[in-house]
Amino acid sequence: MTPVEAQSWHHGLVARWWSLFRTTGPEIEYFRQFVQAGQPALDVACGAGRLLVPYVAAGLDVDGCDASPDMVQLCREAASAVGASPTVTCQAMHELNLRRRYRTIFVCGGFGLGSSREQDEQALRRLYEHLEPGGRLVLDNEVPYSDATHWGLWPSGRRDGLPEPSRPPGARRLASDGDEYALESRLLDLDPLRQQEAWQIRAYRWREGALIAQESYQLTCNLYFCAELVFMLERAGFTGVEVRGQYNNLPATAEDSFLVYLATRD
C-alpha cells in the first residue's frame, strides 16, 4: 500500500459548506462550560467559527486559529457579523506560535486531521506551551471503532473493496445565498498498522439548477485509542488527565463514539 500524503479539505467550497451548514451541535454548549468569563481562551482548529462566534458574541475572550486560510477568513466574517473582532490566526496546530497564553485551550474535531503522528505529538507540546500555569486543555477525539462498517475493515483481507466507489452528489441543501450545495465523501484507504484513514471529499454548488462549481480534496485522519492519547498528553507534560464521555461530563465508556480529554498544565 502506498501511503496517501497528508492533505486537507477545508478549503474553497468545502469551507463554505461548513460555514453555511455546520452551525449547531452539542459541542457548542459543552465546550463553553470550560471558557471562564474574563479569562482568555483559544479555539484551536476553529474552522468557520462554529464555537468561537457564539462565544465572542456572548462577550467571552476567545481567540482562534486554523490551518486553512479560507476557514480563518470565514470565521472573521462571521465574528464581524455579530459585532466582534477576535484575533484569528492562520496556523497549523503543530506550528502554533502565538504571543498570548491562555487559561483554556479547546480543540473540537480537529486533532489528527491532515497531519503526521509526529506532528500530532508536536501539536500537544505546542498546546501545553500556550497554556498559563494551571491552565487546561479540552480536546475531543473520535474513537477508531465509532463506525462499525469501517471498523470491520481492520482485519487482514477485509480491505479489498477500497477505495470505496465514487457516488453521485447526495441531497442538495439550499443556502441563504440562494444557491444549493452538496458534499459527498468516500474512504480511499485504511492502514491499521499506521492507524490512518485517507478520505476524499467532493463539493458541489448549483445556481438556478445549473452546476456552477465542483471541487475535490483529500484528507488523512490519524486514529487514536484512549490509552494511547492519554499517554501522549502525559508525555507532552500534561497532568491530571481525565477522560469523559461524549459531551456529557460522565466517565467515558466503550459505548462513546467521541471521548473528551481534560488535561492541565502545572
In a domain, residue 35? The reply is yes
Q: Does residue 73 carry a pLDDT above 70?
A: yes
**Is the same domain home to 58 and 68?**
yes
**Is the same domain home to 102 and 122?**
yes
Q: For residues 200-217, give the mean pLDDT.
A: 96
Band (9; pLDDT cuts 50, 70, 90): confident
**Is the same domain home to 77 and 179?**
no
**Is the same domain home to 69 and 34?**
yes
Cis preceding-peptide flag for 155 (omega within 30 of 0) = no
**Is the same domain home to 220 and 230?**
no
Band (6; pLDDT cuts 50, 70, 90): very low
Q: Which amino acid is at 100?
A: R
Nearest Cα neighbor of 47 from 114, 137, 1 is 114
What sign results for the dihedral spanned by CA atoms 92, 66, 225, 264? positive
| pTM above threshold 0.85 | yes
Q: What would the DSSP string read from start to end of 51-63?
A: THHHHHHTT--EE
Band (7; pLDDT cuts 50, 70, 90): low
Share of the chain above pLDDT 90, in %: 95
pLDDT digits (tens, 9 = 90+) for 30-55: 999 999 999 999 999 999 999 999 99
Q: Which domain holds residue 106?
A: 26-143+225-264
pLDDT of residue 2: 46
pLDDT of residue 5: 47
Alpha-carbon distance 265 to 134, whole Å?
5
The mean predicted confidence, pLDDT, of the chain is 95
For 21, phi and psi rounded to 5 degrees?
-120, -15
DSSP-assigned letter for residue 118 = H
Q: Does residue 209 carry a pLDDT above 70?
A: yes
Number of domains in the chain: 2
Poorest-pLDDT segment among 62-66, 150-154, 164-168, 222-226: 164-168
In a domain, residue 10? The reply is no
Band (142; pLDDT cuts 50, 70, 90): very high
**Is the same domain home to 173 and 115?**
no
**Is the same domain home to 83 and 173?**
no
pLDDT digits (tens, 9 = 90+) for 98-114: 999 999 999 999 999 99
CB crowding 172-195: b at 16 or more within 10 Å, else e: eeeeeeebbbbbbbebbbbbeeeb
- Greatest Cα pair distance in the chain: 57
Alpha-carbon distance 93 to 141, whole Å?
15
Q: Which amino acid is at 14?
A: V
